[in-house]
Structure 1
Amino acid sequence: MLKEFSYKQFGNLNFTEQELDENTLVKIDEHIKVLFLPKQSKIQVDFQEFQIETDSLLFLNPKVIIKPNETEFGGELLLHFNKDFYCIQIHDQEVACDGILYNNVFEIPFIQLNENQSTDIQNIIREIQSEMKDEDSNTEEMLRILLKLIILKSTRIWKQQHLLAENDQQSDVQFLRKFSKLVEQHYKTHHTVADYAEMLFLTPKNLSKKIGLLSKDTPNDIIKNRIILESKRLLAHTAMTVKEIAFSLNYEDDAYFIRFFTKNTGISPLSFRKQF
């Protein structure tokens, strides 16, 4: 079901192959997404497969490629909305669309839910589904409030799970957000740790040290992995040539790009494309 309020769009749908036609996800490719996954679900996100052990929420930016479960509907539900619906509003930084759940280059942001948290989230989802059936002047704002409630609760859970919930750790959370946002904005044109250290007014050594306290990956790994992910998306889902992909990622020498991709994936770009 999809509701439109002028240019603002908000929808929800059951997330299995049986429930979706092949064009549904293409139509909402530019939408921001929240996916509820019951335990024992399986999902593929950007070429990685996951077995979900506990009820979970997954937060997805536009263009992220997700493949639905092949089994019958078992409770997987996708909420999706465009930026006009939510992001034009002035929100608290942590729960905006560029908050840590949607602006996280460190990991795919699954939020694992315990039994009480899952019940709480599912109750909000049921309220959303009920509200979607209404047609009154308050429907849009109610949907926005319920969506923000899910994001707010999930941000709190994420911070607790990553041991970043204390007040004296808020600067760490904000640093994660800032570095993630910079990588997401500039990975196509800025490829070195020194580039991002300069933007953050740090030395490369200090940036690596700070990220090392918060992530198992180095800044160089994070930047490199984001470039590789985009390369895979373009190889698998567009007709662009390898040379065009290299140029779009600011590699003037496509031979260098091919060596970079092959070294980091163990397979050449053309061989990767043939898999799809």
Structure 2
Amino acid sequence: METTLYQSKYQRLGCIPFQSDAIELLNDSTYDPYIKIIYAPKGVRLRVDFSEHYCQDPTLFFISPNQYLQFIELADHGYFIYYNRDFYCIQLHDKEVACDGLLFNNIYHMPHTILNPKENEIITVILEQMLEEFEIRASTQEEMLRIYLKQIIIRATRLWKKQHLGRLGQESHREIEFFREFSRLVEIHYRTKHLVGDYADLIGVASKTLTHKFKKFDLPSPNEVIKDRILLEAKRMLIHTSLSAKEIAYDLGYEDPSYFNRLFNKKIGDSPIVFRKKYIEGKNVPLE
């Protein structure tokens, strides 16, 4: 299967057009350190962390390096884009695409946007143009590839807002940015800051104000969002590392491992050790 790759010094961007028989290639650990964008046609089934997704329509998925991706079932005419932060860092270029906290690192844990027929046509044309650009050996190739990548991200961000923000999507840009900033801050600080007040201080509002904003739009409370992010990382570490529950608790900023164990048990329904054992044995475990 043909793969295309642009690399210059530390910068890398690759695109793999895939067919239904490419599961082994796409599940290779080679791509784990990269940011990934998947154009998944109808019929693709994949797992991101502990959530399984089945595509009934063409869908774009946005996967951060710290997320775990596994393809379960593929279809023809898909695209697998991977790149590193040296090629394009959404945090450094946030004003350009404004997707951090939405497509990536969002509090809703929804790393995808469904394409309507019009957007699907536009996105597939961009992907085809990107593939053509890999064949052009010109001094402007790097920037052209980056432009195509940004086009995909910007169009997907607009769609994501319409599909996932609900009532919040009807509010002002400033209001949306408030929640996007909260998402970004949780992603940065969840290991060291566990209280709503910590994030209220960072944003510059009172804790009650922060909580009220979430309640106003029927969103999970800030405390739930913070705890869910911590526990998601705990589950990742339990399944994908050999660290003990105590070591994971310390890594996530809990000086009292027994408190962490009680929190995990209350939210997940099993102790960390039982969760790991059930998952490894393939038993039914509470994934969300």
Decide: shared fold, TM above 0.5.
yes
Using a 3 Å threshold, how does the CA distance of structure 1 residues 20 and 39 change in structure 2: closer, same or farther? closer
Question: In 2, distance between residues paired with 1:17 and 1:245?
Answer: 38
Aligned to 1:124: 126
Query: Does the aligned pair in 1 maintain the 2:196–2:223 contact within 8 Å?
Result: yes
Task: Give the alignment partner of residue 79 of structure 2, picking from 68, 77, 82.
Answer: 77
1:3 aligns with 2:6: yes
Query: Does the aligned pair in 2 maintain the 1:94–1:155 contact within 8 Å?
Result: no
Aligned to 1:170: 173
1:49: Cα distance to partner?
1.0
Using a 3 Å threshold, how does the CA distance of structure 1 residues 92 and 128 change in structure 2: closer, same or farther? same
1:41 aligns with 2:41: no
Deviations 1:105-133 (A, max 9, x none): 22313111111111111111111122223
1:99: Cα distance to partner?
5.4
Query: Does the aligned pair in 1 maintain the 2:15–2:80 contact within 8 Å?
Result: yes
Query: Does the aligned pair in 1 maintain the 2:37–2:81 contact within 8 Å?
Result: yes
Structure 1: runs of 5+ lacking an equivalent: none
TM-score, normalised by the number of residues in structure 2: 0.86
Q: Which amino acid aligns with 2:60?
A: L
1:32 aligns with 2:35: yes
Using a 3 Å threshold, how does the CA distance of structure 1 residues 49 and 88 change in structure 2: closer, same or farther? closer
Structure 2: runs of 5+ lacking an equivalent: 281-288
Query: Does the aligned pair in 2 maintain the 1:13–1:79 contact within 8 Å?
Result: yes
Question: In 2, distance between residues paired with 1:146 and 1:33?
Answer: 14
Query: Does the aligned pair in 2 maintain the 1:106–1:217 contact within 8 Å?
Result: no
Query: Does the aligned pair in 2 maintain the 1:39–1:55 contact within 8 Å?
Result: yes
RMSD value, Cα: 2.4
Q: Which moved more, 1:232-241 or 1:39-48?
A: 39-48
Deviations 1:156-192 (A, max 9, x none): 22233336666x6100221122100110011111111
Using a 3 Å threshold, how does the CA distance of structure 1 residues 65 and 17 change in structure 2: closer, same or farther? farther
TM-score, normalised by the number of residues in structure 1: 0.90
Aligned to 2:255: 252
What is the 5 A alignment of 1:107-256?
Answer: 107-161=109-163, 162=165, 169-214=172-217, 216-256=219-259
SS of the aligned residue for 2:65 comes to coil
> Identity, % of aligned pairs?
39
1:137: Cα distance to partner?
1.7
